[in-house]
Amino acid sequence: MSQTVGFIGLGIMGRPMAKNLLKAGYQLVVHSRSRPPVDDVVSAGAKAASNPREVAAACDVLITMLPNSPDVELVALGKNGIIDGAKSGSTLVDMSTISPIVSKKVGEALRPKGVKMLDAPVSGGEQGAINAALSIMVGGDKAVFDAVLPIFQAMGKTITHLGPLGSGGFTKLANQIIVAVNLTALAEALTLAKKAGLDRDLTLTALAGGLAGSKCLEQKRSNYIAETYKPGFKIDLHYKDLGLIMESARELGVPLPATAVVQELFSALRVKGQGGLDHSGVITLLEALAGLRE
């Protein structure tokens, strides 16, 4: 591949996504706040840059995979940011889950520099990122989407253009409602089953074979059986997404009663100092309420 891709944000999701781009043959320039993941991706064939401006200056397509809206704003528009180094005709693809309003703001700020933008949040968790099997939800100009599609195909399997800039973000927020409520329903069901003395492995097998089966059950099964909740996607990050969801719902006039309850459960976990658990770890709170753990 002659095209150079930049990648900023090498966290739990970003690092395997970047490595899949290298496997697909793209030249890659990377930057992240923490040095160890940069060194890891550089050892796989990437080049390192010292700040977002340097990444932007070196590439045709730049991907950001960052925790929250302020992080994207800072990297894109702050000192030594993308806006200072990006070439006219280049494209920023923000794959973070952030406010769609912020996505539009960043896109507007970059437009006078001749920089195009797509918002393209993902779903599929750490395993989906590792396996290049992510669902990628894209908003922005269709012609820009078509040009970037081969890069998306190196990281995901289900790639959908949903409309103008911001459409990807709104779709991801809808996705996060389903995931959060599903994980909470699983937590309630498995807590009930445990209190009734059922074998968890057998219970999960039975549930997976019927209408209750889901991607959440499939991907988090090993967590539930081992009763360990090492983060593939942290409660802290999903709580952030739930905040974005409720904010958007208020603006659009959409009541989300089930989501509001789940947001409070995630909030309680964070108060208990458990925000670093995987989001399937919401079960630990429900088990504690049922007297099954402290």
Residues annotated catalytic, as ranges: 172
Residue closest to 52 by CA, chosen among 74, 19, 34: 74
CA distance 153 to 136: 9
Residue 147 burial (10 A CB sphere; 0-12, 13-18, 19+)? middle
